[in-house]
Amino acid sequence: MTNPQHKVEVLEKRTVFQGYYRVDAYRLRHALYQGGMGAEISREVLERGHAILVLPYDPVRDEVVLIEQFRIGPFARGDHPWCLEVVAGIIEDGEALEAVVRREAREEAGIELSDITHAMDCYTSPGAISEQISVYCARTDASLAGGVHGVEAEGEDIKVIVLPFAEVMAALAEGRINSAPVIVAIQWLALHRSEIRRRWLA
């Protein structure tokens, strides 16, 4: 619930860059905890739209379908740029979230989903990025998963990797999975795995 004392006064908003993503610059003031309004501050925000992320899980085989692809962020930092992740995609205007989940699962991993379960919504980096991610977990048949997928026109080259749940948790503990939203999804499954298996296998 929004606190009415949490007031924000936008003095100026302008787009300072428009490329693959957009950057907007704000001049604003916001309410202070001790009362009144603070001094003017300037902030830039990366606008890249909002996204879904889905962790495909096979409760029969106790396996998770992961994907691996090149990522510019780690590359720019000098880290290994092929990241272990899960299916994700940007939500287009007017799209139903579950429709995006199903589309991205087909495009990125070549799999079908059922029992699509909403886990939570979260921000990737609220200090600089407007993007909110809707996190899902869904049932799939991991025995049918594999190969290389992606939309060629979008430059996607995505390898499917199927791992037992225990190996996924080991990869998480060893730091081989280092994308924050993916970590959130896996930790959610770890907390709810018994309930999910009981429900989906009933």
Q: Which residues are catalytic?
A: 154
Quote the strand ranges of the chain, DSSP E: 8-18, 22-30, 41-47, 51-58, 63-70, 82-85, 87-90, 114-123, 132-139, 148-149, 158-164
**Which of 167, 150, 170, 164 lies closest to 88, judged by CA?**
150
CB 66 within 8 A of CB 163: yes
CB 64 within 8 A of CB 56: yes
**Which of 84, 65, 66, 64 lies closest to 74, judged by CA?**
84
